[in-house]
Chains A and B, each alone.
Chain A
């Protein structure tokens, strides 16, 4: 294990940011801390980095107790949402910072920075200042800066949160490729479930200062442990006391065993996917997700009566 956090609690005044949280991160894995704002995911990351001291609990990094260790001694690389670029330094000096502090020989620094510039595709920007870069470029610079010191673990706090959608998608794919190349144990924080699903091997879903579930993207989607995980990861619709993925709702034209009668309120065409909004006989609303072909086959239209059955329904205690 590369990171083992045990029983971490942290309060800010009356607010409980972390409530007895434990997490293990495998060496070389890419783990996402996923949750809504205020769920404690950033605080957990900052506790791992040593930027925040936990009220209780312990952090072990690469087998060494790091709980009392200052951030500069933990061997972590940290990437901030708003880049935290050193504004008075060129891109080259930003990336070299950690090596300069370690008083490495000039030639070695130069060579290593050149390689990193190439890795993050900023070769031609080496002598610019951060203010002359775009958001995406600044974040790539921050990543190279964190990687320069060859950290045991790389921690990223909402790294793409401040970027626009297109750059975000690009960087996401790029981060995944980078991780496959560099293999450094990586933990990143995000509130975007799609981002977590796309990039991470392992996702820890957080809510109200606790970890609700840890698992691979597919496990979380298909075997959610709690109502929160189910509704946070992927779409859901309510059926009676349970929850169903909208694509697990089966629409039939004739009544059958275990079906409920419902009227189609609206049919929304989203290209490949069609969203059908339903009003049940008991007044409850739900929605189903169909493919375009299935919708055409059934010839669904507004006002029509259909019979609904949930293929896979979950009831959480």
Chain B
């Protein structure tokens, strides 16, 4: 086989695989959503419960993403730039949410904040954590924790600390050094991490499902709403919500491609 043929063959395999696994099902969802016209899809989307579900998803994302961004950068700086006892452990713990099933995360929160848990006293004092926003935010933060740190760590290693040292000798304290030197140098890694975190927050299902209580119109996020609609045999509704979620994901992907660094340095 010539190399050209082999290349075409390889491409065909890759594309077929992608279509079968990813594009096909997505296209089908798209088709089903608009099967009965745009009006039907709009009706399904504009019910108060669905609107509330999207609102909730966005609120959770808006809280979890900034917090995890700050934590992720701080954590990456500690892992790469500092020497402290237990550093290896911290490094491993950051990855824990990737290894742990979200359902397990949800269950552990349930145990922690439930009546008999360590933080059960919160509930007794009138601060409701479970079956309300706080628990859902905590669960989402937990599952989307590693992305920023994982993106930033290798970039920090690669740029080294000479630029930071140079800034120090030029009179910059640690805070100006971070804002003017470190952050601009890792900005693409941070942005990439933020996008991955956002995607993860929007799509979170398992952990939130366990701790939310799934009260319609109250503690139901968009993904939970999809499941609920599906189980109530409202397939059109389930498809419509799915398609909006998918569209947000595509938007995020497009944004990611658009702002990718334009190879400014050699």
Contacts and interface: CB of A to CB of B under 8 A. Distances in A.
B184 A72 contact: no
B162 A86 contact: no
B165 A149 contact: no
A101 B169 contact: no
B266 to A, nearest CB: 5
A78 B165 contact: yes
A181 to B, nearest CB: 21
Contacts of A131: 264-266
Interface string B235-266: 00000000000000000000000000000111
Given A101-B176, A129-B264, A131-B265, A88 B185 contact: yes
Interface string A126-157: 00011100000000001001101100000000
B169 A49 contact: yes
Contacts of B170: 72, 77, 97-98, 101, 145-146, 148-149
Contacts of A77: 169-170
Range, interface on chain A: 20 to 34
Contact of B167 (A50, A87, A97, A102): A97
Contacts of A148: 170
A149 B167 CA distance: 12
Nearest to A97: B170
A129 B262 CA distance: 14
A51 interface: yes
Interface string B160-197: 00110111111111001000110011000000000000
Nearest to B163: A84
A80 B166 contact: yes
B172 A86 contact: no
Contacts of A78: 165-166, 169
A87 B166 CA distance: 12
A82 B165 contact: no
Range, interface on chain B: 10 to 19
Nearest to A51: B165
B188 to A, nearest CB: 11
Contact of A72 (B162, B169, B265, B266): B169
A61 B132 CA distance: 61
A86 B181 contact: yes
B183 to A, nearest CB: 10
Main secondary structure of the interface of B (DSSP, over half): helix
Contacts of B163: 84-87
Nearest to A131: B265
A18 interface: no
A76 B165 CA distance: 12
A70 interface: yes
Nearest to A71: B168
Contacts of B165: 51, 71, 78, 80, 84
Contacts of B162: 80, 82, 84
A82 B159 CA distance: 12
A98 B185 contact: no
Nearest to A77: B169
Given A87-B185, A88-B185, A131-B266, A72 B166 contact: no
Contacts of B169: 49-51, 71-72, 74, 76-78, 146
A50 to B, nearest CB: 8
28 contacts: A51-B169, A71-B169, A72-B168, A72-B173, A76-B169, A77-B169, A80-B162, A80-B165, A84-B163, A85-B163, A86-B166, A86-B181, A87-B185, A87-B264, A87-B265, A97-B172, A97-B180, A98-B171, A101-B176, A102-B171, A129-B264, A129-B265, A130-B265, A131-B265, A131-B266, A145-B166, A146-B170, A149-B170
Given A97-B170, A146-B169, 18 more contacts: A49-B169, A70-B173, A72-B169, A72-B170, A76-B169, A82-B162, A84-B163, A84-B166, A86-B163, A87-B185, A88-B264, A101-B170, A101-B172, A101-B176, A101-B180, A131-B265, A131-B266, A142-B166
Interface of A: 49-51, 70-72, 74, 76-78, 80, 82, 84-88, 97-98, 101-102, 129-131, 142, 145-146, 148-149
Interface of B: 162-163, 165-173, 176, 180-181, 184-185, 264-266
- In the A-B complex, the 8 residue pairs with the smallest Cβ-Cβ separation, listed nearest first, are A98-B170, A84-B162, A78-B169, A84-B166, A131-B265, A71-B168, A88-B184, A72-B171
